[in-house]
Structures are given as C-alpha cells and as structure tokens.
C-alpha cells in the first residue's frame, strides 16, 4: 500500500486517534510562519461555519520548517476562534501536523495529504496554500460544495494583479488550453479540492518516485484529471493577494510549470494528439479576474537578460529550435529595447518547439526547461509593455488572443511531434 | 661435383617443397580461422545490435547528451558504436589467432601482450566516452546556470568546466593505458594548478571591485531605509 511508505508510524497513530472523517483539509508548509496561522484560522472558520456537522481534520504536511511553522499550526486552536467570532463547533475539529521525509517538496506534501485522506476515508478533501493570505472562510464552501454535487476536482479562479502569475498567463494557461482542449484559468492550483474517489485513484498513480511526484504535482493532478475525463469545475474564490516577497526563482518555477507540462505531453501524447471534444469546465461565480494596482517591475532588465540569453545560449538553442525560429529570435534580440516585441505566434511556436525537444530529449530534459527561462523573460517584457496601460477588459482580451494563437499553432506542434517537419 | 650440386639442389628443393607443404595447410588453417572469426564477429555484432535495440540502449544515453556528442564527432549511434567495437575486437582476435598458427617466431608473446592490453584499451575507451559525456553535460549545466543567474561570462565558466573535465578524463585514460602515465599526471597537475592559480588571480585582482560592490549592495539591502528607496517589485511567475 502506498501510504505505508509515506506516513510515519507516529503520524499514523495520530490519524487513527482521529478516526474516520468527512472533510480533510491539507496545508502543505515550509517556513511559512508569517502567514500560516492566519490561513489555518480562516480554514477552521470556514469549516465550522459551512460544515458544522461534518467530522473534519486539518493536516499540516511540513517540509522541515525551522521558523516554528508547525507550532503555529498547532497553536491555531479552536478556542481562539470561538473567542474571536460567534462560531461554535458541533464536532471536534482535529488539527495534526507532521514533518515528512525528503522535503521540502510540494509533491511529497500532497502525497502525504492524499495518503492521510485515504487512511481516514475522507469524503471531501481540500488543499490550501499557506501563502493564500487573503483566504476567506467562504472559500472553503466554494471549494468543497461542488464536490457534494458530484464533481471530482474543483480548481480555483482568483482575481489577481494583471502582472501576477506571468508564467501561468503566458505559458501554462494558453498551452494547456490549446494542447488539452480544456480551459483552466489556474491549471497549477494552490487552493483546490477533490473527491475521495479522485484522491484514491491519483494516489495509486505510479508517479511518486518521478519528478512529477515531487514538484508541480498539483499541475500534474489537474492535467491527469483532464485526460481521465474526471468531472472538473472552477470556482471563483476572490482576490489572491501578491506576497510582499514572492518566491521568484524563475528556474524552479519553469521546472514546476513548463517542465511538468512537457512531461505530461510526453506521457499523454496519444490523448492530446488525437481530435478531442473540448472540455471547458464551468466556472462558479466567475468575475473579472485581474486587478490593476501600479507595480514597479524592471522591464529593462528583462530585455537585457533576454538579449544576453540569446547570445550566450546559441549552441543550446541550435539543438532545440528550428533554424527559422532561432533566426527570428536572433533578429528580435538585435532590436533596440523601444521597438522590441516578442509576438504571440513566435512565442507559441517557441514553446511548442521546446516541448518537442523535451519529448525527443535532444539534450538533457532539465536543460531544455532551463533554456526556456531567458526566452520567457523576453515574452514577459512584451506582456508588460502591451498591458502597461491596459484596462481589465484589454488585459483579458490580450490573454484570450494569446490563447487563440496557441490554438491556431497546434497543427504546427503536431507536425513537429510526428517528425513531419 | 656436379652430382653433389644436383643432390644439394634436390635436397634444397625438397626442403622448400616440404616447408611449403607444411606452410600451406597452416595458411589455409589461418584463412579458415580468419573467415570463421569474421562470421562469428559478424553474428556477434548483429546479435548485440539487436539486443541493444531491444533494450533501447540509445535511449539510455539520450538524456545525457551522448547522441549530440557522437553526432558532433561524426560518429554513429551508441548502439552502432558498441556493436562495431565488439565486431572489430572479436575479428582482430581471430586474425591474430590465425597468424599465431603460422608459427612466426616471437609472435605468440606479442599476441599474449595484445590480449592483455585489450581490457585496458576497453576501459580507457569507456572512461573517455563517459568523461566526454560528463564534460558536455556539466559544461552545458554551467552555461545555463550562469545565464539564468545573470553571471558575467557564462561561456567562459562553461569552457573552464569542460576543459577541466576533459583534462581530468584524458589523464585517467592515459593512466589506464599506462602510456607515459607519470608525464601525463605531472602535465595534468601542472595545467590544473596553473588554471586554478590563473583563475584565482583573475578573480582576485580583476574581480576585487565587483566583489566589493556585491558585498556593499548585499549589506546595504539590510538597511530598511535603503531598501525602501531602491526596491522594485519582483516578477511573480506563479
């Protein structure tokens, strides 16, 4: 049984003391002391307000925090909540914290949460990010309620700043939408919910020793659910606030998004390369999803790093890109900053050529993913420039137009994939 | 006298004929060994090629960049390379075995030393192959990390990594072949030492200002007022 290898004896003992539950909420953490207490309090409030009769447990899977994150989760007790509001528990709301081995890795945390859900036979499960500082108790209801109506996976939609989630808006959303014929605004969710059936099925997947079982596992789960034709739904949660110091390691973010997307394309090529019926999950309560507060982003530096990458990585790009695309990128790199623009169609072809290079392993696969980083910087520069003065509607239109370009270029991907080009 | 001359001539002719008679079967034997050896080596090559294709031997090396390395050196695929290597080693063994049948003086000793040399040759070949792969992989990793971390001269760093690994691997291969091993080790030590000293001097003297600016910037960031004045929002990828 998979859970035997992932759950420690001590943790199993604690879970057995809890017994069978209706709802399990997992909170994966690693050095999140600044935010986790507030998020756990909101989760508790949400469970007690909207599911007072349900037997619930909050599982904190920690990757070895050294800032007292686990203590804060344990301390966020139900008595504090009763004092601060008029919420009264009808059942004991358990809260358990465990430190998993081999971390920190979001995939291992999710594996731990799934194994715990399987052991406790939880009917409804949710995962909440400790970085969701604007998490409202109502979000628990929006995430879990659709599962009661027979849905398998509930993915979030947030209102975010127009320049947040740049990789998701410029790569993950348009590429998954075009490749898998499925419109998911947040294919790499940080707050999401799933049924017990989906949890058990996903737990039995043979991915936990692979890269996709360590990082970007939430994205893999969403794509797998699309391929397995599970019942998906999106739920508008509210504003996702920008963290004061976002974790902006672009290389790791690229591995978690593009790396996992390319890996899934490699695994599920028979699915997406054949004609598919479009699967556009409904979005409950969706509203305009961008906000427009001013931000000070250094575009000049993005442009410089793009140009630097193009000149320094030429031997790598020659193995990955077609001569035409490479020549076009070199031409772009020679343009002065004020006239520079990375057009959507060229960006779509670049992403597709990288996915094919990953599939054919023309060089080490991790190197393929890393080589995309400087090119993404060029695309990010263009996105920032295009949308600098744009209204909510214009930003949405630009994103929609990018998605349509990716869809229009899909035949090019198929030709490359089959080796016809 | 004439009779003696004739007798001597007849005896010589007789000996020559006997030698030829003794040599021809050996020659035929050698030819048979060479031909049979070729057939065995050919079958071995085909068997090995099929086995490697079934076990997707090429795929095993694809991720490490072996294919690019071989393509760059205008060599065939790793499956083909290993199959051909086995073919030539096997056939060469049979050819030498065939020649030994001819009974050429001193040849057997040479043959024995050749067969004793073969494992070392193979080991050196393997060391060189994997070493070049490692050099290719790590130099590219250094290049990508350098570019993504916006380090100055990532190509130079990549080239330094590649050169050091190739030097190290080359000295290991020569050591395995026992070809001037001392000279090679001394040469490697000198080159490596010189390279390190050169880099230390280059970074120490040339990078003094850079290091000072870096440290100043790093420590200045800790001052809250400074941070507020200089701060820009970070790109949020996820």
pLDDT digits (tens, 9 = 90+) for A339-363: 999 999 999 999 999 999 999 888 8
List, in order, residues 6 or more apart from B61 with CB less than 8 Å away. Answer: B67, B78, B133
Look at A316 and B233 and tell me if their CB atoms are within 8 Å.
Answer: no
Q: Is beta strand A192-195 parallel, antiparallel or unpaired with respect to A153-161? A: antiparallel
> Whose structure tokens read 């017990």?
A196
Low-confidence ranges of chain B (pLDDT < 70): 59-75, 180-181, 203, 205-211, 213-234
3-state secondary structure chain B: CHHHHHHHHHHHHHHHHHHHHHHHHHHHHHHHHHHHHHHHHHHHHHHHHHHHHHCCHHHHHHCCCHHHHHHHCCCCCHHHHHHHHHHHHHHHHHHHHHHHHCCCCCHHHHHHHHHHHHHHHHHHHHHHHHHHHHHHHHHHHHHHHHHHCCCCCHHHHHHHHHHHHHHHHHHHHHHHHCCCHHHHHHHHHHHHHHHHHHHHHHHHHHCHHHHHHHHHHHHHHCCHHHHHHHCCCCCECC
Contact B238 A168 (CB under 8 A): yes
Give which of A276, A277, A381, A403 is closest to A336, Cα–Cα.
A381
- Residue A2 clears pLDDT 50, i.e. is over it: no
A229: left (phi over 0), alpha (psi -120 to 50) or beta: left
Beta bridge partners, A155, equal A234
Which of chain A's residues have a Cβ under 8 Å away from the Cβ of B65? 363-364
Average pLDDT score over residue span A291-317: 86
Whether residues B232 and A309 touch (CB distance < 8 A) is answered with no
Q: What percent of chain B has pLDDT over 90?
A: 13
CATH superfamily of A2-291: Spore Coat Polysaccharide Biosynthesis Protein SpsA; Chain A (3.90.550.10)
User: Which residues, in sequence order, are CB contacts of A390 under 8 Å at separation 6+?
Assistant: A162, A398
**A116: pLDDT strictly greater than 90:** yes
Indicate the pLDDT class of residue A312, thresholds 50, 70 and 90: very high
Percent of chain A with pLDDT over 90: 58
Question: Is A248 in the B-facing interface, judged by CB distances under 8 Å?
Answer: yes
Identify the burial level of B58 via C-beta atoms within 10 angstroms of its C-beta, where 0-12 means exposed, 13-18 middle and 19 or more buried.
middle
Closest Cβ opposite residue B237 in set A167, A308, A365:
A167
**pLDDT (average), residues A382-410:** 91
Instruction: Measure B94 CA to nearest chain A CA, in Å.
Output: 39
Evaluate whether A210 touches A171 at the Cβ level (below 8 Å).
no
Q: Is B235–A254 a contact, with Cβ atoms under 8 angstroms apart? A: no
CA distance B140 to chain A (A): 8
Would you state the pLDDT for residue A201?
Answer: 92
Domain boundaries along the sequence of chain A: 2-291, 299-418
Tell me the average pLDDT of chain A. 88
Residue burial A351-372, b: 16+ Cβ < 10 Å; e: rest: bbbbbbbbbbbbbbbbbbbbbb
A168 close to A187: Cβ distance less than 8 angstroms: yes
Q: Is B119-204 a CATH 1.10.287 domain? A: yes
Q: Between B24 and A222, name the one with better pLDDT.
A: A222
Residues found in chain B: 238
- From chain A, the residues in CB contact with B63 under 8 A are 361, 364-365
- The residue ranges of every structural domain in chain B are 21-104, 119-204
Q: Taking CB atoms and an 8 Å limit, are A364 and B155 in contact across chains?
A: no
Distance (Å) from the C-alpha of residue B237 to the closest C-alpha of chain A? 5
Q: For residue A159, give every residue at least 6 positions away whose Cβ sits within 8 Å of its Cβ, in sequence order, or none.
A: A236, A238, A239, A240, A287, A288, A289, A290, A291
Say what the pLDDT of residue A1 is.
47
Of A401 and A92, more confident:
A401
CA A161 – CA A392 distance, rounded (Å): 10
| Residue environment code for B190-224, b if the CB has 16+ CB neighbours within 10 A, otherwise e | eeeeeeeeeeeeeeeeeeeeeeeeeeeeeeeeeee
User: Do residue A248 and residue B145 have CB atoms under 8 angstroms apart?
Assistant: no
> Which of 185-214 (A) contact B at CB < 8 A?
188
Which residues does chain A have within 8 Å of residue B67's beta carbon, measured at their own beta carbons? 362
Of A325, A357, A361, A359, nearest to A343 by C-alpha is: A325
| Chain A contact present for B144, CB below 8 A | yes
**B85 token code pair:** 């290597």
**What CA–CA distance (Å, rounded) separates A89 from A82?**
8
Question: What is the reported pLDDT for B228?
Answer: 46
Beta bridge partners of A26: A59, A127
Q: Rounded CA gap, A256 and A241, in Å? A: 21
User: In the prediction, which pLDDT does A84 show?
Assistant: 53
């Amino acid at each position: 049984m998979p859970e035997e290898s992932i759950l420690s004896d001590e943790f199993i003992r604690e879970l057995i003391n809890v017994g069978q539950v209706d709802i399990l909420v997992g909170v994966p953490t690693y050095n999140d002391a600044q935010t986790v207490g507030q998020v756990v309090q909101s989760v508790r409030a949400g469970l007690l307000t909207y599911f007072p009769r349900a037997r619930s447990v909050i599982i904190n899977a920690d990757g070895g925090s050294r800032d007292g994150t686990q203590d804060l989760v344990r301390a966020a007790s139900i008595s504090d909540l009763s004092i601060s509001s008029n919420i009264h528990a009808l059942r004991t709301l358990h809260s358990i914290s465990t430190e998993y081995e081999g971390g920190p890795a979001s995939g291992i945390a999710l594996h731990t949460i799934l194994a715990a859900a399987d052991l406790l036979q939880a009917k409804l499960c949710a995962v909440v990010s400790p970085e969701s500082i604007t998490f409202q108790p109502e979000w628990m209801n929006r995430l879990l309620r659709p599962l009661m109506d027979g849905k398998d996976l509930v993915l979030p939609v947030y209102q975010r700043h127009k320049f947040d989630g740049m990789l998701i808006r410029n790569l993950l959303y348009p590429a998954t939408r075009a490749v898998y014929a499925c419109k998911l605004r947040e294919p790499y969710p940080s707050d999401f919910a799933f049924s017990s059936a989906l949890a058990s099925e996903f737990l039995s997947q043979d991915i936990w020793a692979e890269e996709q079982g360590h990082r970007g596992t939430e994205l893999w789960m969403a794509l797998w659910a699309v391929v397995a034709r599970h019942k998906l739904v999106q739920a508008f949660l509210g504003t996702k606030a920008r963290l004061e110091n976002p974790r902006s390691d672009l290389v790791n973010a690229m591995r978690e998004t593009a790396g996992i997307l390319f890996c899934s394309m490699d695994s599920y090529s028979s699915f997406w390369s054949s004609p598919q019926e479009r699967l556009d999950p409904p979005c409950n309560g969706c509203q305009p999803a961008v906000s427009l507060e001013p931000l000070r982003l250094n575009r000049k530096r993005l442009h410089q790093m793009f140009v630097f990458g193009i000149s320094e990585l030429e031997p790598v790009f020659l193995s990955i890109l077609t001569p035409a695309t490479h020549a076009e990128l070199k031409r772009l790199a020679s343009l002065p900053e004020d006239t520079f623009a990375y057009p959507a169609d060229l960006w779509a072809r670049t992403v597709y050529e990288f996915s094919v290079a990953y599939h054919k392993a023309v060089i080490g696969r991790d190197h393929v993913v890393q080589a995309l980083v400087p090119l993404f910087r060029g695309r990010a520069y263009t996105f920032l420039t295009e949308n600098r003065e744009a209204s909510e509607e214009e930003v949405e239109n630009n994103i929609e137009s990018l998605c349509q370009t990716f869809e229009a270029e899909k035949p090019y991907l198929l030709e490359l994939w089959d080796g016809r080009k | 006298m004439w009779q003696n001359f004739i007798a001597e001539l007849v005896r010589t002719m007789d000996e020559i004929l006997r030698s030829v008679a003794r040599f021809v079967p050996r020659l035929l034997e050698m030819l048979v060994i060479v031909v049979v050896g070729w057939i065995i080596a050919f079958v071995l090559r085909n068997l090995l090629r099929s086995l490697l294709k079934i076990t997707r031997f090429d795929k095993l090396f694809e991720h490490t960049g072996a294919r690019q390395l071989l393509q760059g050196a205008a060599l065939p695929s790793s499956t083909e390379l290993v199959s051909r290597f086995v073919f030539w080693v096997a056939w060469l063994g049979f050819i030498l075995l065939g020649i030994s049948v001819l009974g050429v003086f001193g040849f057997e000793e040479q043959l024995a030393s050749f067969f004793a040399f073969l494992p070392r040759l193979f080991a050196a070949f393997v060391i060189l192959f994997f070493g070049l792969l490692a050099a290719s992989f790590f130099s590219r990793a250094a290049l990508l990390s350098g570019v993504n971390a916006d380090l100055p001269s990532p190509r130079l760093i990549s080239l330094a990594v590649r050169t050091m690994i190739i030097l190290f691997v080359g000295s290991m291969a020569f050591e395995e072949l026992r070809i001037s091993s001392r000279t090679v080790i001394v040469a490697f030590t000198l080159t490596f030492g010189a390279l390190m000293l050169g880099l230390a001097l280059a970074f120490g003297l040339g990078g003094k200002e850079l290091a000072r600016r870096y440290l100043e910037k790093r420590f200045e960031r800790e001052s809250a007022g400074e941070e507020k004045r200089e701060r820009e929002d970070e790109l949020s990828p996820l």
